[in-house]
C-alpha cells in the first residue's frame, strides 16, 4: 500500500481557502492513506479564546469532516487530518480519520504544547488503533512525539502506521521519529506544516520536512523545509508486524515490564 502526507502553509483563519487547498492536493495524491497537518484548516497561532471558538467544528457534523468524507469516498482514500473540535462546548485539538466508507473516528491530542493549554482541554480519547483493512493505524498529534509512551502504546495496540499531524516549531522531531520507529518497529507519517505566523508580537516558524519513516529506521521520504509537497512511500505492513530484531530479541516480548511498573506510577 501507499501512505503519505500533504505539506503546506495554512492561512490563519481562512478555513474555506485551507480546505480548498488541501482538497486540491489530496486530488493529486496517489495513495491509499494521506495525512494532513495539525489544525490544517485554521492555522495555529491564536491570541484569544474567541478566535479558537470561531473556527472549532463538531466532528463529524462540521464542514471540514464532511468535505474530507466526500473526497475520501470519491477518491477511495483514507485521510487523517488535524482540526479543532467543539464537543458540547469543550474544545480539543483533534484529528479525524475518514475512509471511503465515511467517518471512522477521532483522536484528541493528549500532550498539549505551550499555549494550547490555554485554549484546549487535554485529550480524553486515549490512544486508539483503527483497522482500515489494508492496515491498522494509530494517531498522535505533534508534541505527543516528545512522550515515547504515545508511540509505544499505539504500537502495542497493533498500529502498523502512526499518523502524525503536526505544526512543529522545534527542530528535533524528524530525528526523533527515526528512534520512535526503530524502538516500536512501526511506520510513521509526520505531516508537518510550513510557513510563518506572527500575531500580536508572537511568532512561530514551522519546520516543514514532513517525513515518512520505516520500522528499520530508514527515512523513506523527507519533504523540503518550505515548499508545498505531497510525499508518498510504499508501505509493507508485514514489516511492522514482525517485532523481531534477531533470533533472540523482540522489541515487544523482551520488555521487562516487571522492572518498569514502579516507574510508570512514580515521579522520580
Smaller CB separation from ligand ACM, 143 or 214 = 143
How far is Cα 60 from Cα 114, in angstroms, rounded to an integer? 27
Nearest of 135, 128, 123, 191 to residue 163 by alpha carbon: 191
Cβ closest to ligand ACM, residue 116 vs residue 160 = 116
The answer to whether 159 and 136 have CB atoms below 8 angstroms apart is: yes
Run of H or E including 82 = strand 78-87
**CA distances (Å), 34 to each of 6, 54, 232, 251, in order?**
7, 27, 8, 27
Residue 173: active-site member? no
DSSP letter for 88, please: T
- Binding window for ligand ACM (CB under 6 A); candidates: 81-89, 96-104, 162-170, 192-200: 162-170
Q: Tell me what percent of the chain is helix, strand and coil, each rounded to the nearest 5.
A: 30, 30, 40
**248 CB neighbour count, 10 Å cutoff:** 7
Site string for ligand ACM, 88-127 (x = CB under 6 A): -------------------------x--------------
User: What's the min distance (Å) between Cβ of 255 and ligand ACM?
Assistant: 27
Q: Is 143 in the site for ligand ACM (CB under 6 A)?
A: yes
Q: What's the min distance (Å) between Cβ of 18 and ligand ACM?
A: 16
Q: Which residues pair with 95 in a beta bridge?
A: 82, 107
Q: Say whether residue 142 binds ligand ACM (CB under 6 A).
A: yes
C-alpha–C-alpha distance, residues 115 and 117, integer Å: 5
Name which of 196 and 252 has its Cβ closer to ligand ACM.
196
Residue showing cell 484529528: 95
To the query of whether residue 142 is one of the catalytic residues in this protein, the response is yes
Which is the catalytic residue, given 21, 69, 85, 109?
109
Cell of 121: 482541554
Catalytic-labelled residue, pool 69, 135, 142, 181? 142
Question: Which residues of 169-244 form beta strands (DSSP E)?
Answer: 187-191, 196-199, 202-205, 211-213, 219-222, 229-234
Site string for ligand ACM, 30-49 (x = CB under 6 A): --------x-----------
Instruction: Tell me how many degrees the CA angle 179-182-187 measures, rounded to the nearest 5.
Output: 100
The number of residues that bind ligand ACM (CB under 6 A) is 7
**Could you say which of 35, 45, 153, 169 contacts ligand ACM (CB under 6 A)?**
169
Nearer to ligand ACM by C-beta: 163 or 251?
Answer: 163
Site mask for ligand ACM (CB under 6 A), range 170-209, x = bound: ----------------------------------------
Where do contacts with ligand ACM occur on this chain (CB under 6 A)?
A: 38, 113, 142-143, 167-169
> Which residues are known catalytic residues?
38, 109, 142
Amino acid at each position: 500500500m501507499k501512505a503519505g502526507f500533504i505539506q503546506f502553509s495554512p492561512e490563519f483563519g481562512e478555513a474555506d481557502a485551507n480546505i480548498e487547498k488541501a482538497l486540491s492536493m489530496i486530488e493529486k495524491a496517489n495513495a491509499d492513506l494521506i495525512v494532513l497537518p495539525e489544525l490544517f484548516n485554521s492555522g495555529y497561532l491564536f491570541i484569544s479564546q474567541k478566535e479558537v471558538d470561531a473556527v472549532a467544528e463538531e466532528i463529524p457534523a462540521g464542514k471540514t469532516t464532511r468535505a474530507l468524507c466526500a473526497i475520501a469516498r470519491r477518491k477511495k482514500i483514507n485521510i487523517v487530518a488535524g482540526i479543532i473540535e467543539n464537543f458540547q462546548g469543550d474544545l480539543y485539538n483533534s484529528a479525524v480519520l475518514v475512509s471511503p466508507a465515511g467517518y471512522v473516528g477521532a483522536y484528541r491530542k493528549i500532550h498539549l504544547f505551550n499555549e494550547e493549554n490555554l485554549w484546549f482541554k487535554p485529550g480524553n480519547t486515549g490512544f486508539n488503533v483503527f483497522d482500515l483493512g489494508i492496515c491498522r493505524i494509530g494517531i498522535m498529534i505533534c508534541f505527543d512525539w516528545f512522550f515515547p509512551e504515545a508511540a509505544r502504546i499505539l504500537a502495542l495496540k497493533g498500529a502498523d502506521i502512526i499518523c502524525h499531524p503536526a505544526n512543529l516549531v522545534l527542530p528535533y522531531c524528524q530525528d526523533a521519529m527515526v528512534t520512535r520507529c526503530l524502538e516500536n518497529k512501526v511506520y510513521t507519517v509526520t505531516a508537518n506544516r510550513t510557513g510563518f505566523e506572527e500575531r500580536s508580537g508572537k511568532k512561530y516558524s514551522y519546520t516543514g520536512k514532513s517525513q515518512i519513516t520505516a520500522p528499520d529506521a530508514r527515512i523513506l521520504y523527507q519533504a523540503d523545509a518550505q515548499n508545498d509537497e505531497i510525499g508518498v512511500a510504499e508501505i509493507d505492513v508485514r514489516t511492522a508486524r514482525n517485532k523481531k530484531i534477531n533470533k533472540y530479541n523482540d522489541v515487544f516480548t523482551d520488555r521487562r515490564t516487571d522492572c518498569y511498573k514502579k516507574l510508570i506510577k512514580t515521579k522520580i
